[in-house]
């Protein structure tokens, strides 16, 4: 099954920036301008539903910030400022050189303490590309700050081959030993070492010194992007928020949280209780709250259509996705499932006549795929003939449907208790899914063109059976 997820690769990031495939480029540039105007320590939340593309958005931001940093080795980092400028222009030139760090909170929520895992991520982000080959004072400062943080939590750092084991003050900060530092931070025993520290202010200052010292050689300002916090265990999420508030009060650091605020509020309430004012609590941590705009659904569907085989997306599929307001991730899952089901259905289409088969393929299968993925109970009811009204009303909400026009033509002149369109749609649904054949005017009129044999329902069920037993 082919994946249609928009992975945050360099190629996809550049393509979406160049062609604006998801219509977020203007928001992205405005966000970067907003970020560049912040001159104090700040925390920002970017709110968006699960699956709305928050991670992809911040990976775009990170790529641009790295590309515009004049101090880093762009060949090693895989960035290209000139390529960006060719389609974004001079709007991405900033006064400061940024050092972005991506931190996936969900992947780290088994860490013994969020503070250390954040520090580890900062070191890891620049350990390979940053050799700190500048002046001796910079190297000495980084050594001392890292050593203090490590000694504060009683971590053993393996020495590299060229270090003197008798000199406890010697820590090599080349790429090789930074990797050792990172490994040691990852392999802590699960014990709250921070509680053993009598002078918390010392540790706080040393962490600030670490950021300041790194900035001397490689940039002016750190931007730490915290992703997936709303998926973490409550204890870890709360500790992370409070550690950042207490230990990272530095005007050279900005934290950006990409999260679903509603879900994060639920996480807070799981920790403090259902009656706790989670919204007011989070306001104490976030200086700015921003809303990630929805993608342009039609344009994103067009992008998916370009990589589909065959690269055709029906009007019914577009209607379903827009009508139910699917997120980027849900759109991807929809297409993955639809391609498998439609392929299986086409292999069995010989038991229906051309019009009946095409109607099922064009209208029924797209609806069933949506229901299977997102409304399981209704999906089951749909297959046993209990959703005629849902089907009819859904189809009537679609403008200019060719099948409805055809039904009206076939049933022209009929006067009944309900509208001609509604009656015809109910009838054709029951012709497929109801065990009892409704022998009324609509059924007789539609059967002249749309023929559904007793096996038509079984054919549809078999097409869906690779996902669920029905």
Mean pLDDT of 170-174: 46
383: left (phi over 0), alpha (psi -120 to 50) or beta: alpha
At residue 21, does pLDDT exceed 90?
A: no
Where are the chain's structural domains? 10-291, 297-464
Looking at the chain, how many residues does it have?
Answer: 470
**How high is the pLDDT of residue 131?**
46
Residue 170 pLDDT > 70: no
What is the average pLDDT across 380-391? 93
Is 125:102 a contact under the CB 8 Å cutoff? yes
What pLDDT is stored for residue 371 in this prediction?
96
- Higher-scoring residue by pLDDT: 232, 127: 232
Q: CA 33, 34, 35 angle in degrees (round to 5)?
A: 90
b/e map of 166-184 (b: 16 or more CB within 10 Å)? eeeeebbbeeebbbbbbeb
309 vs 414: CA distance, rounded Å: 42
The band of 440, judged by pLDDT with boundaries at 50, 70 and 90, is: low
Residue 207 in contact with residue 153, Cβ under 8 Å? no
**What pLDDT is recorded for position 236?**
93
More confident site: 251 or 165: 251
**Average pLDDT score over residue span 316-327:** 92
- Residue pair 364/460 in contact by the 8 Å Cβ criterion: yes
Judge contact between 234 and 273, C-beta under 8 A. no
Which whole number is the average pLDDT over 176-190?
A: 49
177 pLDDT more than 90? no
Residue 238: how many CB atoms within 10 A of its CB? 18
Question: CA-to-CA distance for 367 and 343, rounded, in angstroms?
Answer: 15
Give the per-residue pLDDT at 290: 95
**Quick one: average pLDDT of 302-322?**
79
Greater pLDDT, 3 or 236: 236
Lowest mean pLDDT of 45-54, 221-230, 254-263, 460-469, name the range. 460-469
Q: What is the pLDDT of residue 143?
A: 62
Q: How confident is the model at residue 296 (pLDDT cuts 50, 70, 90)?
A: confident
> Which one-letter DSSP state was computed for residue 413?
T
User: Predicted confidence band at 176 (pLDDT cuts at 50, 70, 90)?
Assistant: very low
């Amino acid at each position: 099954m082919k994946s249609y997820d928009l992975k945050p690769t360099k190629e996809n990031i550049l393509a979406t920036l160049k062609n604006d495939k998801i219509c977020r480029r203007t928001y992205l540039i405005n966000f970067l301008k907003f970020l560049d105007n912040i001159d104090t320590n700040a925390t920002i939340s970017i709110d968006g539903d699960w699956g709305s593309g928050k991670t992809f958005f911040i990976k775009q931001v990170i790529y641009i910030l790295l590309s515009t940093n004049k101090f880093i080795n762009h060949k090693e980092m895989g960035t290209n400022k000139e390529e960006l400028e060719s389609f974004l222009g001079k709007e991405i030139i900033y006064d400061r050189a940024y050092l972005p760090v991506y931190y996936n909170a969900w992947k780290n929520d088994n860490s013994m303490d969020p503070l250390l895992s954040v520090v580890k991520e900062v070191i890891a982000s620049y350990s390979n590309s940053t050799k700190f080959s500048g002046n001796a004072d910079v190297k000495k400062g980084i050594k001392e700050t890292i050593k203090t943080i490590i000694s504060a939590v009683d971590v053993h750092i393996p020495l590299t081959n060229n270090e003197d084991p008798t000199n406890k003050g010697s820590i090599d900060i080349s790429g090789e030993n930074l990797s050792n530092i990172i490994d040691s931070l990852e392999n802590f025993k699960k014990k709250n070492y921070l509680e053993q520290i009598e002078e918390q202010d010392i540790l706080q200052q040393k962490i600030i010194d670490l950021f300041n010292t790194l900035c001397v050689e490689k940039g002016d300002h750190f931007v730490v992007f915290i992703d997936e916090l709303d998926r973490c265990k409550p204890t870890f999420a709360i500790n992370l928020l409070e550690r950042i508030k207490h230990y990272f009060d530095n005007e050279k650091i900005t934290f950006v949280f990409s999260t679903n605020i509603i879900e994060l509020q639920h996480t807070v309430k799981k920790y403090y209780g259902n009656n706790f004012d989670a919204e007011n609590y989070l306001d104490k941590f976030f200086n700015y709250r921003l809303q990630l705009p929805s993608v342009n659904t039609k344009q994103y569907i067009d992008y998916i259509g370009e990589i589909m085989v065959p690269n055709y997306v029906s009007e019914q599929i577009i209607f379903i996705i827009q009508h139910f307001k699917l997120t980027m991730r849900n759109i991807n899952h929809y297409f993955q499932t639809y391609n498998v089901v439609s392929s299986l259905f086409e292999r069995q289409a010989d038991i229906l006549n051309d019009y009946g088969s095409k109607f099922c393929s064009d209208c029924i299968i797209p609806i069933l795929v949506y229901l299977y993925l997102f409304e399981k109970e209704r999906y089951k009811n749909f297959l046993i003939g209990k959703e005629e009204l849902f089907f009819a009303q859904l189809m009537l909400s679609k403008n200019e449907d060719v099948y409805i026009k055809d039904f009206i033509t076939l049933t022209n002149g009929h006067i009944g208790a309900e509208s001609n369109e509604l009656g015809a749609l109910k009838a054709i649904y029951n012709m497929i899914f109801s065990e009892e054949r409704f022998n009324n005017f609509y059924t007789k009129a539609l059967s002249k063109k749309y023929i559904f044999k007793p096996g038509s329902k079984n054919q549809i069920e078999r097409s869906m059976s690779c996902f669920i037993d029905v």
